[in-house]
């Protein structure tokens, strides 16, 4: 990331809203924001395949579900946060990933400016590409500050997105099992 451009951009933004960039409380803000960007947008430079490469043979090919994975992301339209929980399930095809690897995969995509709908699909795509499972189902539930603190201003409203692939798309009872497990 270009830290100098981020710092200059923050200075210009502060000046643009009428702030005094030389006032004590704002002197270090451009540098703080530049450091913060490295953390919250770090997923831009990260390959989810690195996390999903560590796999183990699995005799049991039943549903694997990691639920309530807390995530924080940033809306690409307003650069405001959205946050919530991810629920990720797959039916193994002889191989499984470590459970922490599912959470790390969610984190890779959450740490990019984007929209929730794409993030849901990206998580499913990564699982399909690297685990080659029989099926995948992903659900994200999130509150978007671009909806709660500006615009329509409806705090507490949640957006839910899902994606089903493979045997999940073919078997409604499997989808129902997933939905019951995440409640």
Q: What is the CATH number of the domain that holds 11?
A: 1.10.286.10
Q: Flag whether pLDDT at 60 surpasses 80.
A: no
Q: What is the DSSP letter of 92?
A: -
Alpha-carbon torsion, ordered 32, 35, 36, 41, to 10 deg: 150
CA distances (Å), origin 49, targets 19, 78, 104, 109, 180 = 43, 29, 10, 12, 29
Q: Are 87 and 68 in contact (CB under 8 A)?
A: yes
The per-residue pLDDT for range 114-137, each reduced to its tens digit, is: 999 999 999 999 999 999 999 999
Please tell me the predicted confidence (pLDDT) of residue 59.
85
Q: What is the CATH number of the domain that holds 79?
A: 3.30.1130.10
Residues classed as catalytic = 75-78, 116, 144, 146
34 and 84 belong to one structural domain? no
33 and 52 belong to one structural domain? no
161 and 72 belong to one structural domain? yes
82 and 143 belong to one structural domain? yes
35 and 50 belong to one structural domain? no
pLDDT, mean over the chain: 96
| CA nearest to 54, candidates 99, 115, 85 | 99
92 and 174 belong to one structural domain? yes
97 and 163 belong to one structural domain? yes
22 and 66 belong to one structural domain? no
The per-residue pLDDT for range 83-120, each reduced to its tens digit, is: 999 999 999 999 999 989 999 999 999 999 999 999 99
Q: Which two tokens stand for residue 5?
A: 């451009």
Please tell me the predicted confidence (pLDDT) of residue 61.
79
- Alpha carbon distance 71, 123 (integer Å): 13
CA distances (Å), origin 152, targets 75, 143, 155 = 16, 13, 9
17 and 54 belong to one structural domain? no
60 and 74 belong to one structural domain? yes
Q: Which two tokens stand for residue 106?
A: 């969610």
Please tell me the predicted confidence (pLDDT) of residue 131.
96
Please tell me the predicted confidence (pLDDT) of residue 117.
98
Please tell me the predicted confidence (pLDDT) of residue 51.
95
Q: Flag whether pLDDT at 23 surpasses 90.
A: yes
Please tell me the predicted confidence (pLDDT) of residue 99.
87
Helix, coil or strand: residue 37: helix
Q: Flag whether pLDDT at 151 surpasses 90.
A: no
Please tell me the predicted confidence (pLDDT) of residue 52.
96
Q: Flag whether pLDDT at 27 surpasses 90.
A: yes
Please tell me the predicted confidence (pLDDT) of residue 2.
96
Report if pTM > 0.85: yes
- 100 lies in which domain range? 46-182
Alpha-carbon torsion, ordered 28, 112, 137, 55, to 10 deg: -90
Average pLDDT over residues 26-53: 96
Please tell me the predicted confidence (pLDDT) of residue 64.
96
Which residues 6+ apart lie within 8 Å of 115 measured at CB? Answer: 75, 76, 77
58 and 30 belong to one structural domain? no
């Amino acid at each position: 990331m270009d830290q100098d451009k981020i710092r200059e951009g923050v200075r210009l933004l502060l000046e643009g809203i009428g702030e005094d960039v030389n006032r004590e409380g704002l002197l270090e803000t451009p540098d703080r924001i530049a450091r913060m960007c490295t953390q919250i947008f770090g997923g831009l430079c990260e390959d989810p395949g690195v996390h999903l490469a560590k796999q183990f043979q699995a005799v049991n090919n039943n549903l694997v579900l990691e639920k309530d994975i807390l995530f924080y992301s940033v809306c690409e339209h307003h650069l405001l946060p959205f946050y919530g929980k991810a629920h990720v399930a797959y039916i193994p095809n002889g191989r499984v990933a470590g459970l922490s690897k599912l959470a790390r995969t969610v984190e890779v995509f959450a740490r990019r400016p984007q929209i929730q709908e794409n993030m849901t699909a990206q998580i499913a795509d990564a699982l399909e590409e690297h685990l080659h499972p029989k099926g995948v189902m992903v659900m994200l539930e999130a509150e978007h500050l671009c909806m709660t603190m500006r615009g329509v201003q409806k705090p507490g409203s949640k957006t839910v997105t899902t994606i089903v692939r493979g045997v999940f798309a073919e078997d409604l009872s499997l989808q129902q099992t997933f939905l019951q497990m995440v409640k």
